Structure 1
Amino acid sequence: MFLDFEFLLVLLTLVTAITVAWAAFRRRRLRKAGKPLPEKDNWWVDLCRSLFPVILIVLVIRSFVVEPFRIPSGSMIPTLLAGDFILVNKFSYDVRLPVLNRSVIPTGQPERGDLAVFKYPVNPAQDFIKRVVGLPGDHVVYSDGDLYINGDRIEQREEGAYNEPQAPRATVFSETIGDREYRTLRHPRGTWCTDYASAPDGYEVPEGHYFTIGDNRDRSSDSRCWGPVSEDLLVGRAFLIWMSWDTYENRINWSRIGDRID
């Protein structure tokens, strides 16, 4: 999507606010001059007066509190499915100004295991969601399906086959980073890309950056393909599925609605 919805919200807020302020100033000036006031404002002034508080509330909530996103692909299976609609906590990783994305209030930084939404480093007009596995200064290696952080192999436990149409013939693993446990998928034909962390020497995460990987390990475009994510691109941490649409059966997936995201 090339039109930035956040920019559009800010623009509409400014336009409606300026229009309402101009109309109030005009009435005040006419009153001071002793001139008759118009019985009714122009229709576009009334429209802006009605829309301004609504747009302002939406902008504040979406920019500083919570923002909805839709999952378009299967890169986060089995945690998230294509067709899931999620909510993202916007103040998990600092309070940021809309459009400028500049941090104004420090509130926290990503932790290993977080499901973080961020601007795609290759094309910031797109939003991505991946799991944070590497923090600034970490040494990350991904080799033969195993993830190593600072020389320590991340614990995995095979759970069995994933018998769903989104990822046939895949195997489910339980993985633990610190006190965070979640599930991942592995495919028999291997991963799509391992440019950054597959070398024997692995990858050193620079300061101010984070290494991210999709839970669908062999079907995800992530930091293994295009490198780490700058903290300036962070949007927030996903925490809830508020709606889910089964893209295979074209129906609402009621069982996933309300699920918390780990």
Structure 2
Amino acid sequence: MSRYFSIILFFLLVLTGFIYLLDIFIFSAKRKKINDSLSIVDGVCKKTPLWIEFSIALFPIILIVFLLRSFCLEPFRIPSGSMLPTLRSGDFIFVNKFIYGIKIPIIDYKIVSVFDPSRGDIIVFRDPWLHKLDYIKRVVGVPGDKIDYHNKKLTINDKEIVSLMEASYCDQGTNLLISTYKEFISEKYHYIALQDNVFNLLKPSWYYPYYHNCNYDNNGLTCVVPAGHYFVMGDNRDNSFDSRYWGFVPEENIVGKAFFIWMNFKNITRIGLLK
């Protein structure tokens, strides 16, 4: 959806910019010529039409917004609970679009590389199948990693990831007992949620690209992340539609890194940096 908004914003930028240039080089000169030829008796001077004034006023605003959204920051709203407890539905976040490189707007072609996504990063990306929806998940595997997820235990490159239980609570919506854990990936930690006594059978949604890099069984899956791709998972492990079901995220689909919650209208204490 954000891509459609970028296209609309680009169209408005071109339209208002075109009108602005026409006024500078054609319309303003005609108005000046008419006004210079008027005498006191002739009456009121010719004013700038409202639609031109409106376009001139909007052009710099649209230009600034377009540049910020294209190269620096872009706002997103969290629509679901797949990233609980880290992100909640209704959180408004900022995404750093510069950190992974500079891309040409609209076509998203990278012209300058900066950093690569790291394990533990929370990224926003376009879905790998339709390229229309924006998803947000946590990077678990980078190119070349061996990811193993069996019986709700995550292993990266044959090293089991440490997770320490923090608390348990009963979810009022489902009446299920949910436990939160502190999970350590690449010497950084974040929190995940697991539903006790609930087992999700992992099955691929379709034969996605590099499907042969993964092996599924009754207890989980094992994948080797291909070059130029990433394996992502939601922090709400039992309620997240992610790489376990639809495969890897191509590097070119990544929009940026989520780093700040700037508002949640139901709970303003949510404002702050993300882990």
Normalising by structure 2, what TM-score? 0.85
State the number of aligned residues.
253
More divergent stretch after superposition (186-195 vs 154-163): 186-195
**Inter-partner Cα distance in structure 2 for 1:175 and 1:3:** 33
Instruction: Give the deviation of 1:22 after TM superposition.
Output: 1.3
**Inter-partner Cα distance in structure 2 for 1:66 and 1:123:** 24
Match of residue 218 from structure 1 = 238
Instruction: Give the deviation of 1:28 after TM superposition.
Output: 6.9
Summarize the alignment of residues 82-101 of structure 1 with structure 2, pairs less than 5 Å apart.
82-101=89-108
Structure 1 position 39 matched with structure 2 position 46: yes
Instruction: Give the deviation of 1:45 after TM superposition.
Output: 1.2
Match of residue 249 from structure 1 = none
Match of residue 256 from structure 2 = 236
C-alpha spacing 1:28/1:71, structure 2 compared with 1 (3 Å) = closer
Equivalent pair of 1:76/1:130 in contact (CA under 8 Å): yes
- Which string of whole-angstrom CA distances, capped at 9 and with x for unpartnered residues, describes residues 206-252 of structure 1? 1110000000001000011110000100011111111114xxxxxx2
- Structure whose residues are more often helix by fraction: 2
**Structure 1: 5+ residue runs without aligned partners?**
246-251
**Inter-partner Cα distance in structure 1 for 2:166 and 2:153:** 16
Amino acid of the structure 2 residue aligned with 1:189: V
Q: Give the RMSD, CA atoms, in angstroms.
A: 2.2
Summarize the alignment of residues 148-159 of structure 1 with structure 2, pairs less than 5 Å apart.
148-159=155-166
Match of 2:228 among 208, 211, 230: 208
More divergent stretch after superposition (146-155 vs 159-168): 159-168
Equivalent pair of 2:99/2:114 in contact (CA under 8 Å): yes
Q: What secondary structure does 1:202 align onto?
A: strand
Q: What secondary structure does 2:239 align onto?
A: coil
Q: How many percent of aligned residue pairs carry the same amino acid?
A: 39
Equivalent pair of 2:3/2:106 in contact (CA under 8 Å): no
C-alpha spacing 1:197/1:133, structure 2 compared with 1 (3 Å) = farther
Match of residue 261 from structure 1 = 274
Q: What secondary structure does 1:4 align onto?
A: helix
Equivalent pair of 2:150/2:221 in contact (CA under 8 Å): no
Match of residue 18 from structure 2 = 18
Instruction: Give the deviation of 1:12 after TM superposition.
Output: 0.5
C-alpha spacing 1:201/1:126, structure 2 compared with 1 (3 Å) = closer
C-alpha spacing 1:201/1:256, structure 2 compared with 1 (3 Å) = closer
Equivalent pair of 2:225/2:231 in contact (CA under 8 Å): yes
Match of 2:153 among 137, 146, 156: 146
More divergent stretch after superposition (217-226 vs 88-97): 88-97
- The structure whose Rg is larger is 2
Normalising by structure 1, what TM-score? 0.89
**Inter-partner Cα distance in structure 2 for 1:183 and 1:138:** 22
Summarize the alignment of residues 1-262 of structure 1 with structure 2, pairs less than 5 Å apart.
1=1, 4-27=4-27, 30=30, 35-36=33-34, 39-163=46-170, 165=172, 168-187=176-195, 188-191=197-200, 193-195=202-204, 196=214, 198-199=216-217, 202-245=222-265, 252-257=266-271, 259-262=272-275
Equivalent pair of 1:141/1:197 in contact (CA under 8 Å): no
